[in-house]
Amino acid sequence: MAKAYWISAYRSVSDPDKLAAYAKLAGPAIEAAGGRFLARGVPAKTYEAGLMERTTLIEFDSVEQAIAAHDSPGYQAALVALAGGVEREIRIVAGA
């Protein structure tokens, strides 16, 4: 089964306190669901339309596991804490 990757690309952070509250809840919820953080932070370099904002890359054993992590009660509580604090997109991509 192919691995899956959850990629969060932040466009802007308007409330760092909400982001910190989210991180306290999201990290443990994602790890409990089988996610492994591979990279997180501000890019070393961007190209084309890339923004110098936070990016997170998380590995899962499957797409289904990544989706279940996102939909879990623990992660949904993290989203409530984050509400309105950032603008970002999340993509779940199957590994090659």
Q: HSE (CB half, 13 Å, CA atoms) of 62?
A: 4
As a whole number of angstroms, the distance between CA 83 and CA 63 comes to: 25
Residue 66: domain span: 4-94
3-state helix, strand and coil shares in percent for the chain, rounded to the nearest 5: 40, 30, 30
Closest CA to 25 of 90, 83, 76: 76
Using one digit for the tens of pLDDT, what is the confidence trace for 40-69? 999 999 999 999 999 999 999 999 999 999
Model confidence at 96, pLDDT cuts 50, 70, 90, reads confident
Closest CA to 72 of 31, 15, 24: 31
Number of domains, the chain:
1
Domain containing 62 — which CATH number?
3.30.70.100
